[in-house]
Amino acid sequence: MKEISPPRAPACPPRRRLCLAVDVEQYSRLDTRAQSAVQSELVRLLEEAAALTGLDRAAWTRQPQGDLEFAVLPEATPEDAVLGPFVHHLAVRLRDRNDRPVAHRVRLRMAVDTGVAEDAALGHAGPAPVAVARYVNAPPLKAALAGLTAADLAVVVSDRLYQDVVRSGRPDLDPVEYVRVHVRVKEFGGYGWVRVPGHGPDDVRAAVAAEAPEPRHAPDAGAPDRARLSQYVHQGAAVGGDVFGGLAVGLPLPSGRSGPVLPGSSGSGPLR
């Protein structure tokens, strides 16, 4: 008689967590002593902003990387508190710090996303940690900070967070302050929303547009590179506005066919 194995326990569902990364602009230009001081300043600023927001930094799973801190926040963390009050307090504390006579001005880029983030041997694994790492190095985010020289902080949030949280009408979050950008870093492609505290969306658009690369034309105009098609294309035109930073327009549809054109390859669409 064949032995019947006991049923397996159901696998734990993936844990969805809020992830953020904060990076120091032009850190490599500092000498060793200044780098050490700036690292300490970054930790202090994040701790002060979290305390003023009512967030428990001790509960964050932090992964320091020199000029950058990546963190996975507890599952119960209110996302609107991070995108609203935490960003506000960080911007204020950073401005106060830079208004004092200091040897080196500190300017920060911050990226936030939510999704699967699991503990791994070298830190964390999952779509959200990868997306945050790409967002914080996105050319449009760097362009916003480079173009708005009076700004101390530039923030990008994923399209998922913008749609689910920013547009939900919660206090301290104004969707009008954000500018949609297209992000392509390494194999990652998707949309994000950039906000620069203290600057309006028109200023952000101008700064991003000024630094946007010229569109690259394929040698054969009749055979564009399908690997670079945008994920939001309808009959050869990008759908939606306020898109900056290397958006590639897709192929027109064959005759007699209607509907959106799908991405040409895996990895070109946003992480969902």
**What is the DSSP annotation of 162-198?**
HHHTGGGT-TT--GGG-EEEEEEETTEEEEEEEE-TT
Amino acid at 256: G
Q: Quick check: 221 pLDDT over 60?
A: no
Q: Quick check: 240 pLDDT over 60?
A: no
Reported as a pLDDT band with limits 50, 70 and 90, residue 169 is: confident
Q: What is the pLDDT of residue 238?
A: 35
Q: Quick check: 261 pLDDT over 90?
A: no
pTM: 0.73
**What's the mean pLDDT in 17-21?**
92
Name the average pLDDT for the chain: 77
Contact 163, 227 (CB under 8 A): no
Q: What is the pLDDT of residue 210?
A: 85
Q: Quick check: 202 pLDDT over 90?
A: yes
Q: Is 235 exposed, middle or buried (0-12, 13-18, 19+ CB in 10 A)?
A: middle
Q: Residues of the chain with pLDDT > 70: what percent?
A: 68
